Structure 1
Amino acid sequence: MKNKPLLSLNDMEKEILILKASLDIIDSIVNYNVLDIHHYEYGSVVSFKTSIHQEYFSIYLVDFLSAPASDFGLKRGSYISLLKDVCSSPVFDKDNSIAYLIKPVTEFCNWLETEVTIKQLWFPSIHLNIDLKVTYSDFLYIGGNISKHNFTRLSACATKMQRIFKDNNVHKETMECLLALEDYQNWFHGDGNILGYLSSSIAEFLNNIRWGIHRYLQTEFSRSYTIGKENTYSYEYPSTISNPTIKFYYWDLMNSIRSTPYIPEFEVSRHFRNHPLLAQ
């Protein structure tokens, strides 16, 4: 029997949770504590403060590519897929402001679904050298989970790795795939450092989504924002929100729209959009 959600939410309340949670994750990933963003005449390049920050980046990224807990009654799917649903049926849309969000969400979704070939990927623990075909989504999901968990909690990743191998006409047992994950992580974070190359594009995608949410909600912010005495401010809640918890999240969401996103929009140099071993 399925657990009953903690809250019974209408469409507006669900959208508030999706936007608020998405902003929290993106702001944890794309910020100056984790990243250095270098701007040049030919485009921008993102780098990590340290290797620990790179792992931190991948852990939060895999959260964004995973589904939230079922407690809030949201549709099952990753946060990026939930944002895609918001784009299809936006609650706060005024004068087609949702167009600001549709573009970056669609671009990131399309990129994640792109299948690439990682050339000459070597798995010494299982004696396998392969040109591995994999989607960016699966590649990042596995790498982030390896960063997040030790091998005793990676059975789902081993199963996913087994399926990817099978799609590449390689048949391995689940335990062999579990061993292969350590080799995989060396390519993801270590000597291969594929994530280091992809991070510039990923940061650009996520920052564009951050700006898209900001622009999408500008009209709602203007409607609800009220200046009181002594320059205090408040927000006028939409009439369809009655739950105190959702009101709290709505206030936080509007506060995040109150000021301009702290990382300006940037465009990554084409030279740093891919790894030399990756081919589409």
Structure 2
Amino acid sequence: MMNDTEREAIVLNSAWEMIDDMVNWAVFMKIDRADPSNLMFQTSGHARLFIILLGDFLSEIRAFKGEPIPLGLKPAPSNARPSDLTFLFHLRQVCADPKLGADTVDLSVAVEAFASWLEGEFVAEDVNLHSIDVVADLRVARCRYIKMCGDMAKHNLARLATNVGHLRKLLAEAGHPVSEQQGYLAVETFFEWFYQDIFIYHSSQVGEFLNNIRWAIYDYLQPEFRRSFHVPARSTAEFPMYSYHVPSGIAEPVAVAMYWDAMNRSRSQPYVQRFVIPDYMKQRY
């Protein structure tokens, strides 16, 4: 059973790693400014990879077939808000009871800003689902449509039953109830509408939210890095070495490895600079 310090090392390193995979200069075209007008994907394939990885980041980590949740992570409460059914829940646990640092204000602000945005709703007007001859104004939470598009980008039609259910519910709430078969027929056009237009527009802002969380983790871990990093006496100019004073509360092998990974990441600043997308690029949807 992981203790809270071990769990924190796992959560922080995992979050940082997932964000590194999404927000980097292989996925996005490199910018040097702190105030870019927007982020642009390198290719359509990179955009698709981004939403698949984002969908995983926004997915709940659950127990499987009665087994405990992997790596000793805590389950979200039964009355969880939507953003608690994402990896943000585990970052919230760190902010509520920090172990490796003391000041989680910036991390909490970054997490809550993204959570509030994800839970917000917008109306997509005149969504043309031509495959079933329906045009509707769909009200949807940002987190819901992003998860749906992430799944649709990753899975074939046979594995989209849950998302067909979500789509049918959105259509019913808009006054257009459809059958299950119609729901399957509408999946592709829903994906085209919400992914190619709305998500591509949102991706710059999502990148900013994720980058802010990454920088907040970096800032939070700096005091621990300075405490932990040291050069062993056996280090020489020919064979330079470094090590970390692993906290006594971290003993499980996976937690020790992830603590080392988190400290190694903390040796240098995140490779994407802090940036702010202007407000005029955040006003639609």
* TM-score when normalising by structure 2: 0.87
- Residue 216 of structure 1 is matched in structure 2 by 220
Deviation at 1:166, TM superposition (A): 3.4
> Could you say what secondary structure the match of 1:232 adopts?
coil
Deviations 1:79-130 (A, max 9, x none): 1222122212222232xx2112011111000000001111111111222111
Deviations 1:124-155 (A, max 9, x none): 12221111100110010001110011111111
The match for 1:252 among 256, 261, 272 is: 261
Deviation at 1:40, TM superposition (A): 6.3
The match for 1:118 among 124, 133, 148 is: 124
Residue 92 (structure 2) pairs with residue 93 (structure 1): no
Residue 57 (structure 2) pairs with residue 51 (structure 1): no
Q: Name the amino acid aligned to 1:131.
A: D
- Residue 32 of structure 1 is matched in structure 2 by 25
1:159-238 map, 5 Å: 159-190=165-196, 193-228=197-232, 229-230=235-236, 231-238=240-247
Cα distance in 2 for partners of 1:240, 1:27 equals: 27
Deviation at 1:43, TM superposition (A): 4.2
> Would you say the 8 A contact 1:44–1:266 is kept in 2?
no
Deviations 1:184-234 (A, max 9, x none): 1111334xx221111110000000000000011111111111122234210
> Could you say what secondary structure the match of 1:255 adopts?
helix
Cα distance in 2 for partners of 1:39, 1:16 equals: 31
The match for 1:109 among 95, 101, 115 is: 115
The match for 1:150 among 145, 148, 156 is: 156
In structure 1, runs of 5+ residues without a counterpart are 1-7
Cα distance in 1 for partners of 2:17, 2:186 equals: 33
Cα distance in 2 for partners of 1:167, 1:103 equals: 33
Cα distance in 1 for partners of 2:121, 2:43 equals: 29
> Could you say what secondary structure the match of 1:170 adopts?
coil
Deviation at 1:175, TM superposition (A): 2.9
Deviation at 1:170, TM superposition (A): 3.4
User: CA separation of 1:42/1:34 partners in 2, compared to 1, >3 Å: closer, same or farther?
Assistant: closer
Cα distance in 1 for partners of 2:96, 2:181 equals: 41
- Residue 84 of structure 1 is matched in structure 2 by 92
Over the residues paired in the alignment, what is the CA RMSD in angstroms? Answer: 1.8
Cα distance in 2 for partners of 1:122, 1:137 equals: 21
User: CA separation of 1:174/1:214 partners in 2, compared to 1, >3 Å: closer, same or farther?
Assistant: same
Q: Name the amino acid aligned to 1:58.
A: I
* TM-score when normalising by structure 1: 0.89
> Would you say the 8 A contact 1:43–1:270 is kept in 2?
no
- Residue 75 of structure 1 is matched in structure 2 by 74
The match for 2:133 among 127, 132, 138 is: 127
User: CA separation of 1:18/1:174 partners in 2, compared to 1, >3 Å: closer, same or farther?
Assistant: farther
User: CA separation of 1:274/1:29 partners in 2, compared to 1, >3 Å: closer, same or farther?
Assistant: farther
Deviations 1:143-183 (A, max 9, x none): 11100111111111112222333333432233322221101
> Would you say the 8 A contact 1:38–1:45 is kept in 2?
no
Cα distance in 2 for partners of 1:88, 1:169 equals: 42
Deviations 1:19-78 (A, max 9, x none): 111111100000000002546696431000111110000000001101235222312332
In structure 2, runs of 5+ residues without a counterpart are 63-68, 76-84
Cα distance in 2 for partners of 1:186, 1:199 equals: 15
